[in-house]
Amino acid sequence: MQVNWRQIHAARNSFAVLYAACEREGFTLNPAKGPDRDVTCYSLTSISALRYRDEIAGADCRTIVGGPHASACPREVAAYADYVVVGEGEFTLPRLLADIRNGGKGRIPGVMTGDFYEPADTSVRLDAYPAFSEHKGYIEISRGCPFSCGYCQTPRIFGHGMRHRSIDAIARYAERHEQSRFVTPNALAYGSDGIHPRFDRVEQLLKRCPHQIFFGTFPSEVRPEFICGESLDLINRYCANTKLHFGAQSGSDDILRQLHRGHTTADVIHGVELCKEYALTPIVDFIVGFPFETDEDQRATLDLIRWVARFGKVHVHRFIPLPGTPLAGTNARPLLTETEKTCGELALRGNLTGSWNDLEIRFLRHPSNDIP
Ligand code: SF4
């Protein structure tokens, strides 16, 4: 049975992880630029789903769809795909492939088909699966998040308990390449419950990793309240990065409370100040256009954006009501003229990146219709 993996740039790390998990069970995921016999697998976000829906619906082979969008709205995806993997794929995807190969109907836990669904009966232990094999990926060191930010799919897919890959396993993967980057919702929460830092464990991890380590910067980030002298000292001592990436999301404490972010704007300001002190460039994320954001809230966010941009870089994104989150089904509020103007000016100066335009302008009308 030939099994293909539809190449989608945004899903390249999922490919590395699932390639390795399937390989162990005797299946090779063949990278493909379109659906092909016998089975083609897709991993979709809620943005890329718009592009691939028709391709999947018209595919002349069996199709398996997973990823955050499929996990958030499996019924919608099951209307055009043969099988939907709901949740984590490392155990479920090879199990589903084996079932298809053996002539089964894919009626296994964690898979939705047109007339069947049973939730997964497993939770992935990171050490039980390779981070990657021949296709290099980022090393996922932690999964799950104890927070419940209203716009975020992560805890809804992976749960609120943090699971960590062991230091031995991470060090083994870090040894294979000159540079390693990590996947985690909060790099500085390594070894902890995600709320109470365990910097002793972070240090044990960093000490064991050979070569160049990038920690708390792309593709991972940190939470602002985890930034302190002790944590920045560890990054400066053991890591190669000169930048630290963290989420502020809003300059209004009211909005942060409504989002259940679990930190304040004072934590963000303190984080930026400390980055300056420790010679790290802060890269700070903001979201504009929350449905309950007042003009005053948006101006407070703009003020914070302008202030952060004096010392570092800002990523600004327009709010997207992702399925499966508490804010699903709401609408982004319009941006103030001054927000568009300030973002544009800072972008021209090289202090700001992101996509603060309307979703329709950004994705639906763009020729490539894909996310970077
Ligand atoms: S945005 Fe970050 S901290 Fe908030 S729920 Fe998502 S992963 Fe957790």
Whose CA is closest to 137, among 48, 38, 29?
Answer: 29
Atom of ligand 1 nearest to the CA of 153: 6
Q: Are residues 166 and 216 in the same domain?
A: yes
Q: Using CA positions, which residue lies closest to atom 6 of ligand 1?
A: 152
Same-domain status, 266 and 181: yes
The rounded distance, in Å, linking the Cα atoms of 230 and 201 is: 12
The CA 204 to ligand 1 mean position distance, Å, reads 24
| 222/317 same-domain check | yes
9: domain CATH number? 3.40.50.280
Tens digit of pLDDT for each residue in 263-309?
999 999 999 999 999 999 999 999 999 999 999 999 999 999 999 99
Helices 295-311 and 265-277, interaxial angle, to 10°?
10
State in Å: Cα 224 to ligand 1 middle: 12
180 bridge partner residues: 213
Clarify whether residues 44 and 137 are in a common domain.
Answer: no
Q: Which two tokens stand for residue 96?
A: 């589903």
User: Which residue's alpha carbon is at the smallest distance from atom 2 of ligand 1?
Assistant: 185
Residue 26, helix vs strand vs coil: coil
Domain's final residue, options 117, 145, 179: 117
Q: pLDDT tens digits, residue range 126-150?
A: 999 999 999 999 999 999 999 999 9
Which pLDDT belongs to residue 360? 56
Of 140, 141, 142, 147, best ligand 1 pocket probe by most atoms within 8 Å of the beta carbon: 147
329-336 contacts, C-beta under 8 A, 24 or more apart: 330/291, 331/291, 332/289, 332/290, 332/291, 332/358, 332/359, 333/289, 333/290, 333/291, 333/293, 334/289, 335/288, 335/289, 335/298, 336/295, 336/298, 336/299, 336/302
- Which of 84, 117, 150 delimits the end of a domain? 117
- 369 assigned to some structural domain: no
Domain range spanning residue 166?
Answer: 128-364
**Domain membership flag for residue 111:** yes
Distance 223 CA to ligand 1 centre (A): 9
* Domain match, 152 and 112 both: no
Report if residue 215 sits inside a domain: yes
Question: pLDDT tens digits for 299-316?
Answer: 999 999 999 999 999 999
Do the Cβ atoms of 151 and 319 come closer than 8 Å?
yes
Q: At 258, which CATH number?
A: 3.80.30.20
Average pLDDT over residues 82-110: 97
